[in-house]
Structure 1
């Protein structure tokens, strides 16, 4: 049979989403299950978002503003940059894909820490680039020294996920300063800050405020997490104008939908509520971490809206044990388990499952 797709994609693992809550509940005969496998916030849409979405839907027969001018300018004003530096897209992961497309030709290298966001190897393979995976430190964080050493003449893109998904660990300003000073000026560094709103360590820098003026730095942000728009897919990046302009050339036209634009504008009006919700998540994160360390002492400190259990080969077994109790977590086979922080009641159910499993 004639092959119609690339043979190298056979070796690429598919992105694994969290299991469907209804499926798990039905399989177990439960009234409902708890999903802590996807890094969402549990509090529902922000005030004003459902109304904005409902209004936008009445115009869904029209194309959205391809330039995303109103939202772009609103984001630019909030983050203290000019509008020509902001690019929006279908979530920050889609923008990471576009960045790879804008910087790499087949055979070029993308350097990133591993384990980190599972979409990175998929993005690299999708454009025929070579993944250079640099092992995490013993503390489950980026080894920036080793990442710098891994850069070659073929490297076009380096990704630093800070805080890191799925381990929740962060790199601090002093080490990030040294790293960025080492990276060649013709290599683009992406600071993936999808979880920035949950950071409480004042030594973990705001990449945009601290490094946004560097020509070879791009900062990725998302509105899927703290801003509660995971189901509407809304992300943005901030880069220098010439980089942003090149990215727009390869951006999928109309990729920021009319509904997503309206929802994002409404969400930006509810910033006080975002802050309140983040504070709840942060408090619960600390409580869950403290309880878990009584069962598993080497749980790392998280600066995200999830925690990491470094269970190694026991990860799948732990995930299955939690699921039997109606709590869906996210095992990474051979490495560990990521658990999203939910409501206090959901977290209590997880902790009970974890105590039983461990």
Structure 2
């Protein structure tokens, strides 16, 4: 049985008479660079043609950028789309897929669609419990997903922790390193998944153009891994699922990477500023490696979200666990911080 929607969010909610500030979807607040927009406009003139289903130019650009053979790269519709391809290639009735929970909301949906059984391992202190995850692996386990940094908590697994885990995983079990937010990590101890997959045929890395590259609306993701596994994943793709516009924009984004990633520095600085302000207000906020922050509010989640929505500031609630707030432009972040300060003051008054 399928459970938990991945949470489709196609349009911002707008408060009556107020500006809507969308901090709920972990999007980049920056629009496309001129060179990327030019590539999009050029590719738009050929939308009467089917896109290149082999993603030839994009695969070549990715292979060159990351120093791997082209046979090690698969492309799909966002990292979630690529993950669906991986699970389609691996999943079968009786197979198991292990992942941490709470983590990316699409995991339960995609595992269920593949016919496999989800094995959810609770987080420990808001981060992956790799010892418990290793213990959850059985002879039925076909894959383990490590979301690093983890969405929605933002916590990270260190290089040493991940290497110890990989050394314990059976070689016939695929470890999928979901690194959708990799570009926002500045911790030198953070593992390089692309380096770890070299020499480990059972390790694959998922990345996306949706976050740091600002292409959430075009849906392009990719996987790097063992060529035999990549060939199976490519065979599971839905034909023509990545448009020619998306492919052209991704190639142009790689060419403009230095300029794009300078925007990441701005987001990281804002993330750290917002976290420091929240900590000063008395909130519990774990360090984040993504373009978002996690507030474990527990039973106060619903009332906090309602107050934000009433003010036109939209964050993402996760049941009664807490909220995730994406990092936007400074003025958008300030609007959220004002609400957080008011809620913190009210909380202190109630406790007196």
Assess same fold via TM > 0.5.
yes
Q: Is the partner of 2:341 in helix, strand or coil? A: helix
Please, what TM-score do these two structures have when normalized by structure 2? 0.95
Please, what TM-score do these two structures have when normalized by structure 1? 0.94
Question: Retained in 1: the 8 A contact 2:5–2:105?
Answer: no
2:14 paired residue number = 24
Question: Retained in 2: the 8 A contact 1:57–1:259?
Answer: yes
1:200 to 183, 186, 204: 186
2:327 paired residue number = 341
1:163 paired residue number = 149
- The reply to whether residue 57 of structure 1 matches residue 51 of structure 2 is no
Q: Is the partner of 2:287 in helix, strand or coil? A: coil
Question: Retained in 2: the 8 A contact 1:212–1:218?
Answer: no
- The reply to whether residue 82 of structure 1 matches residue 69 of structure 2 is yes
Question: Retained in 2: the 8 A contact 1:88–1:236?
Answer: yes
Question: Retained in 2: the 8 A contact 1:47–1:270?
Answer: no
The equivalences for 1:273-284 within 5 A come to 273-284=259-270
2:100 paired residue number = 113
1:67 paired residue number = 54
- The reply to whether residue 225 of structure 1 matches residue 211 of structure 2 is yes
1:18 is displaced (CA, Å) by 4.1
Q: Is the partner of 1:355 in helix, strand or coil? A: helix
1:66 is displaced (CA, Å) by 1.1
1:293 is displaced (CA, Å) by 1.1
Question: Retained in 2: the 8 A contact 1:168–1:304?
Answer: yes
Change over 3 Å in CA distance of 1:98–1:271 after alignment to 2: same
2:349 paired residue number = none
1:295 is displaced (CA, Å) by 2.8
Question: Retained in 2: the 8 A contact 1:168–1:306?
Answer: yes
In structure 1, C-alpha distance between the alignment counterparts of 2:146 and 2:112, rounded to whole Å: 18
1:210 is displaced (CA, Å) by 3.0
1:176 paired residue number = 162
1:257 is displaced (CA, Å) by 1.1
**Length, aligned pairs only:** 344
Question: Retained in 2: the 8 A contact 1:46–1:227?
Answer: no
2:83 to 76, 79, 96: 96
Q: Is the partner of 2:151 in helix, strand or coil? A: coil
Q: Is the partner of 2:281 in helix, strand or coil? A: coil
Q: Is the partner of 2:146 in helix, strand or coil? A: strand
In structure 2, C-alpha distance between the alignment counterparts of 1:94 and 1:170, rounded to whole Å: 23
In structure 2, C-alpha distance between the alignment counterparts of 1:261 and 1:75, rounded to whole Å: 11
Question: Retained in 2: the 8 A contact 1:92–1:236?
Answer: yes
1:45 paired residue number = 32
In structure 2, C-alpha distance between the alignment counterparts of 1:111 and 1:297, rounded to whole Å: 31
In structure 1, C-alpha distance between the alignment counterparts of 2:150 and 2:105, rounded to whole Å: 11
Change over 3 Å in CA distance of 1:319–1:18 after alignment to 2: farther
Question: Retained in 1: the 8 A contact 2:283–2:295?
Answer: no
In structure 2, C-alpha distance between the alignment counterparts of 1:232 and 1:350, rounded to whole Å: 28
In structure 2, C-alpha distance between the alignment counterparts of 1:349 and 1:18, rounded to whole Å: 21
2:347 paired residue number = none
1:296 is displaced (CA, Å) by 3.8
In structure 1, C-alpha distance between the alignment counterparts of 2:282 and 2:320, rounded to whole Å: 16
- Cα shift readout 1:158-195 (whole Å, capped 9, x = no counterpart): 00000000000000011101100000000000000000
The equivalences for 1:248-327 within 5 A come to 248-327=234-313
Q: Is the partner of 1:24 in helix, strand or coil? A: coil
Q: Which runs of 5+ in 1 are unaligned?
A: 1-7
Moved more, 188-197 or 41-50: 41-50
Q: Which runs of 5+ in 2 are unaligned?
A: 345-352
2:350 paired residue number = none
In structure 1, C-alpha distance between the alignment counterparts of 2:14 and 2:198, rounded to whole Å: 44
- Cα shift readout 1:60-112 (whole Å, capped 9, x = no counterpart): 11111111111101100000100011000000001111111111201210100
- Cα shift readout 1:5-30 (whole Å, capped 9, x = no counterpart): xxx34xx2322234732x423xx222
In structure 1, C-alpha distance between the alignment counterparts of 2:199 and 2:246, rounded to whole Å: 28
